[in-house]
Structure 1
Amino acid sequence: MSHPAPYPIGLANEITRQLHLLADHLAQLPPQQATQVIARLLDPDDGLLNGVTGLLSVSSTFAKGQAERGVLPAEVWLALGRATNDLDAIGEDLDEHRTSLRRLGTQPATGSATPPTPAPLVVRRHR
């Protein structure tokens, strides 16, 4: 049974709207709540990043079939495949930080006598 076209398009539009709303809220949340939201977004099982990666993977599979039939240029399929791979790699890069985010997001907000020590921002990339 096929779904009517307006429903998936409306769903995509609503998800996009909700993502913009979430970003607006995230920018205004207190640090602990923002950390909880970020940890939830990065949840490896059912977080947003994993969901978007899966959606792009399905899109890539669809585009491959369309490209094989000559409906879409092969470059569309390749670009979606690269985007899927890139998001998957980003998720892997973030894996090591999920535990820290969860831990910080579940700590009670306290006005501790000694504030946390700022860490120098060092850019390092490993794969």
Structure 2
Amino acid sequence: MTRPTPYPVLLADEIARQLGQLTDRLSHLPPAEATQVIARVLGGDEDGVLGRITHLMATSSVVTKAQAKNGVLPPEVALDLARAANDLDDVHLDLGEHIETLRDFSTGAASPGVKPSLPAPLVVRRHR
């Protein structure tokens, strides 16, 4: 007899499915609406999707660290999750600087006296 799938596993599957739907819809939205969604994803401290995923990864790191100490998981799993949580936190902090700009654009509330950005090519730099 198979054991039923625990609710948290089903919840993770549902969240992944909904993130996929959001991703699919994002590219088809008008610019202001897409920017509004991106600002919501970034959120503030932990109220956006990225902040909550970062917190989930940090919690996962703590859980797997305890499991590694008990010999259930290899220590590399906990270390890699900790590194991922730290990297996500750095990304979240970097992108957090742009939340207000994204929100202002999506609502049309640009600051008075600020010139709109001109179209510019993005430059990709490789780390060596």
Do Structure 1 and Structure 2 share a fold, with TM-score over 0.5?
yes
1:9 maps onto 2:5 in alignment? no
The 2-side partners of 1:117 and 1:65 are apart by: 51
1:106 maps onto 2:107 in alignment? yes
Q: Match of 1:38?
A: 38
Shift of 1:117: 2.4
Shift of 1:5: 5.4
The 1-side partners of 2:5 and 2:59 are apart by: 17
Q: Match of 2:86?
A: 85
User: Following TM superposition, where does structure 1 have runs of at least 4 consecutive aligned residues deviating by more than 3 angstroms?
Assistant: none
1:69 maps onto 2:75 in alignment? no
The 2-side partners of 1:89 and 1:116 are apart by: 26
Q: Gaps spanning 5+ residues in structure 1: where?
A: 109-114
The 2-side partners of 1:123 and 1:96 are apart by: 20
The 2-side partners of 1:84 and 1:49 are apart by: 11
Q: Match of 2:113?
A: none
Q: Gaps spanning 5+ residues in structure 2: where?
A: 110-115
For the aligned residues, what is the CA RMSD? 2.1
Query: How many correspondences in the alignment?
Result: 116
Residue identity over aligned pairs, in percent, reads 57
Q: Match of 2:96?
A: 95
| AA in 1 matched with 2:54 | T
| AA in 1 matched with 2:28 | Q
Determine helix, strand or coil for the equivalent of 2:27. Answer: helix
Shift of 1:116: 5.9
| AA in 2 matched with 1:58 | T
1:121–1:6 Cα change, 3 Å: same
Shift of 1:96: 1.7
Q: Compute the TM-score of the two structures, normalised by the length of structure 1.
A: 0.84
Q: Compute the TM-score of the two structures, normalised by the length of structure 2.
A: 0.83
The 2-side partners of 1:36 and 1:59 are apart by: 29
| AA in 2 matched with 1:49 | L
